[in-house]
Chain A
Amino acid sequence: MSAHLSYQILYFGLLAERRGLSAEWIQCAATTPAAVYAELLAAYQLGLAAAHLRVAVNDEFVAWDQPLQPGDTLAFLPPMAGG
């Protein structure tokens, strides 16, 4: 059993609406954004596939397999729609 790590998750747009929250702290064993998102998808009816999202860690765009540090802030970003 691996130790559980804490991350802050930020939600925006349609994801915030589906989750019913704009931010939360979670505890999980995942160590990459891809694995964290997989846990969120399993737990909630988010309905947005990772293939169409971008992910940011600590306010920077990162790759889905970027190793995470405990306490990192993750944001899963739906397709952007400015202008």
Chain B
Amino acid sequence: MPAIVSFAISSARLEPAVLARALDEPGAGAVVTFEGRVRNHNAGQAVARLEYQAYPALANKTGRAILEQEAQRHGLLNAHAVHRSGELGIGEVAVWVGVAAAHRDAAFNASRAILERLKHELPIWKKECYADGRVEWVGPDNRSPETGLAHSGVPEWPGQLHAIYLSEGHDFRGRHGQQRMDHGIIQVGQVECVAGMGLRGDRYFGYQPDYKGQVTFFDAAVVESVRSHFKVPALPAAAFRRNLLVSGVRLGEWIGKGFRFQGVEFEGSEECRPCYWMDSAVGAGVEEFLKPNCGGGLRARILSDGVLRAGVPG
């Protein structure tokens, strides 16, 4: 027999005694209820109240699906839960879970599993209003509200990655007074970042220990302005021989700073200064044109392993 389940988002105060009546069931040898209440402190700060904002249509479906799945998994007789929305004062019940089962193991385990899933999977967001008047959106389990990850102190780049370019050999480096080489540039949809090494498949991969230019970022807006200023609308972005074509980030602000991009951690090391080869690679005057505002791009070290994908937002 399938369990009886119900889930609701409620803007009204929750009354546990009333909610628990739904658990009365002659076959139930074990009933477990849980109340999550608003506490007057969090992470060392005095909390005055909380505010929950829900996406009701999706939260109702999601909450019900969680209860149905856990009821079936644990063989419950019934399972009910309610989550508050709106403003809550200290001591108010923010979430209530109640389950009934034939035996205690199922009831204890299922109530815990349901609560944990509601906390992380329900489309609902929590704002803390502190005693000193500040308000702040908070993430799951006091993690970052932006990433859902533990606060690492490393800011997230909001930019986009448009293209990834790799070249397996050097065209210009070490070739002063000679002709450039002509290693092709390949464009790839994704690339593996290896901490301390570089981009797998690129000429600078493992080039030197702690090398400053394990990866280079280039601003797509600079490509656009070179195209229009030098009247070369068809100039490929790959001609600049930088690795990662990005937008939405001021590259010059990240010299000497750590940042996270698509889950990978980097540290900006220096401006990727344009050199005289730029004039032969792209056109006369381009070297000068790129000098202001870190126009030549940003060189960076890779601090954590990961994969970057082009064409997806940040």
Contacts and interface: CB of A to CB of B under 8 A. Distances in A.
Interface of A: 10, 12-14, 16-17, 34, 37-38, 41-42, 45-52, 54, 56, 59-61, 64, 75, 77-83
A60 B58 CA distance: 7
Interface string B116-154: 001111111111000000000111100111111100000
Given A38-B160, A59-B61, A79-B140, A13 B121 contact: no
Contacts of A82: 52, 83, 95, 118-122, 124, 126, 140
Contacts of B160: 38, 41-42
Contact of B94 (A12, A46, A50, A83): A83
A59 B261 CA distance: 29
B225 interface: no
Nearest to B36: A83
Q: What are the 6 closest A-B residue pairs judged by CB atoms, nearest first?
A: A79-B148, A13-B125, A49-B314, A83-B119, A50-B313, A59-B57
A44 B57 CA distance: 26
Nearest to A46: B158
B55 interface: yes
Interface residues of B, number: 46
Contacts of A48: 146, 156, 158
A47 B144 contact: no
B53 to A, nearest CB: 6
Given A12-B123, A77-B123, A82-B126, A56 B158 contact: no
Contact of A77 (B52, B55, B156): B55
A81 B126 contact: yes
A49 B261 CA distance: 8
Interface of B: 36, 52-53, 55, 57-58, 61, 83, 94-95, 115, 118-127, 137-140, 143-149, 156-160, 247-248, 261-263, 311-314
A12 B55 contact: yes
Contacts of A80: 119-125, 140, 148
A81 B85 CA distance: 12
Contacts of B159: 41
B118 A83 contact: yes
15 contacts: A17-B137, A38-B313, A42-B247, A46-B158, A49-B147, A52-B147, A56-B58, A60-B61, A75-B123, A81-B124, A81-B126, A81-B137, A81-B139, A82-B118, A82-B124
Nearest to A64: B312
A52 B61 contact: no
Contacts of A41: 158-160, 248, 313-314
A80 B55 CA distance: 11
Given A51-B314, A82-B118, A82-B126, A45 B158 contact: yes
